[in-house]
Amino acid sequence: MSADGFTPSPPPGARADWTIDQSWETYSRAEHDVWITLYDRQTAMLQGRACDAFLQGLDALDLHRSGIPDFGRINEELQRLTGWSVVAVPGLVPDDVFFDHLANRRFPAGQFIRKPDELDYLQEPDIFHDVFGHVPMLTDPTFADYMQAYGRGGQRALDLGRLANLARLYWYTVEFGLMRTDAGLRIYGAGIVSSRAESLFALDDPSPNRIGFDLERVMRTPYRIDDFQQAYVVIDSIQTLQEVTLQDFAPIYQRLEGADDIGIAEILPGDTVFTRGTQAYARAGGRLASTPG
Ligand code: HBI
Ligand code: FE
């Protein structure tokens, strides 16, 4: 049951769980070429930027430049590694459907790919965001456990009316997370690693804050859905996410009842600060004001 007690029915052609066949053989040459362009662009810049687990996952799944991967092929290796599989969906699915898939180690990936004139930014997650961005990390057993726990936690958050808080946890980790390593900060968030401009901005730009992970603090911090983040949250290791899954969220949700949101660009006295950002990019109007990256 979703937050408002009503779950829309699946679109025509989709099954009750909103999955569809990937129909890999129907992708056109042009669609494969978009994948290749994006894949070449990202892999050319991610050495020294993406975390080891991501790069190892890319290799393990043999995601390569020949074109859009066939989920049937990826799933053989992915299931062997962590029991996860990728399932095709037409686009965004209702929250409760999304959580049910994650809770059963199924990652719903958009079946479509962006158009050549949308290379840099698109509203809805397409197959490149989902499969290149999210799936490699699912080869890491600890991260794989975290994603399943997120699915279970999402179902519970829906029942408790705390979805907004849990969505922030997902956003600042799975989508836009950074990790501290001996060699410096590295990317593990899918929204960053699948975007050339944000892979640069998230690590190099003086504009955003970069602060240490704290579960309750993250759950009180809003995020941007339309532009680069004004704050990035840094975990010490993937183990940090494992520890999150071991916590009982009920007392945290209780405390959140009376807690105000924290300003998106605010830095608190208790924060571990990696970068006290200038917020110059956001103040200048962000994507809308700047020339395309
Ligand atoms: N559906 N296909 C798809 N992919 C997502 O990332 C997704 C979704 N539905 C809901 C959702 N994400 C978020 O609202 C939840 O994380 C809260
Ligand atoms: Fe995503």
Cα(119) to ligand 2 centroid in Å equals 16
Q: 19, 93, 98, 130: which to mutate for ligand 1, most atoms within 8 A of CB?
A: 98
- Residue 241 DSSP one-character state: H
pTM, two decimal places:
0.95
Tell how far the Cα of 16 is from the centroid of ligand 2, in angstroms: 22
Q: Which ligand has the nearest atom to the CA of 170?
A: 1
Residue having the nearest C-alpha atom to atom 14 of ligand 1 = 95
Which among 284, 259, 271, 286 has a CA at the least distance from the CA of 232? 271
Percentage of the chain modeled with pLDDT above 90: 88
| Ligand 1 closest atom vs CA 154 | 17
Contact 2, 159 (CB under 8 A): no
The two three-digit tokens of residue 43, written as one number: 């892999």
Residues contacting residue 17 through CB under 8 Å, at least 6 positions apart: 10, 97, 100, 101
Count how many Cα atoms sit within 13 Å of the Cα of residue 136 in the half-sphere of its side chain. Answer: 26
pLDDT of 244 reads 92
Closest residue by Cα to atom 16, ligand 1, is: 167
DSSP SS3 for 187? strand
Residue nearest to atom 10 of ligand 1 (CA): 95
Spell 243-273 as b/e; 16+ CB within 10 A means b.
ebeeeebeeebeebeeeeebeebeeeeebee
Q: Which residues lie with the beta carbon below 6 Å from any ligand 1 atom?
A: 89, 92-93, 95, 98, 108, 125, 167, 170
CA torsion through residues 234, 236, 241, 245, sign: negative
Among the ranges given (15-29, 112-126, 165-179, 180-194), the one the predictor scored with the smallest mean pLDDT? 112-126
63 by Cβ neighbours in 10 Å (0-12 / 13-18 / 19+) ranks as: buried
State pLDDT tens for residues 50-78.
999 999 999 999 887 789 999 999 999 99
Q: Report which ligand 1 atom has the smallest distance to the Cα of 171.
A: 16
Q: Which ligand is nearest to the CA of 102?
A: 1
What are the domain boundaries of the chain? 27-283
Contacts of residue 204, defined as CB under 8 A and 6 or more positions apart, other chains included, come to none
Which homologous superfamily does the CATH classification assign to the domain defined by 27-283? Aromatic amino acid hydroxylase (1.10.800.10)
pLDDT tier, 5 (very low <50, low <70, confident <90, very high otherwise): low
Q: What's the CA dihedral at 260, 162, 234, 80 to 10 degrees?
A: 180
pLDDT, position 64: 75
Pocket test for ligand 1, best of 87, 93, 100, 130 (most atoms within 8 A of CB): 93
Q: Find the 194 Cα to ligand 2 centroid distance in Å.
A: 9
Confidence band for 108, pLDDT divided at 50, 70 and 90: very high
Task: Give, to the nearest 10 degrees, the angle between helix 141-160 and helix 71-82.
Answer: 90
Average pLDDT over residues 251-267: 95
Strand, helix or coil at 27?
coil
Cα 110 to ligand 1 centre (Å): 11
Answer whether 59's CB lies under 8 Å from 46's CB: no
- Please state the atom number of ligand 1 nearest to the C-alpha of residue 170: 16
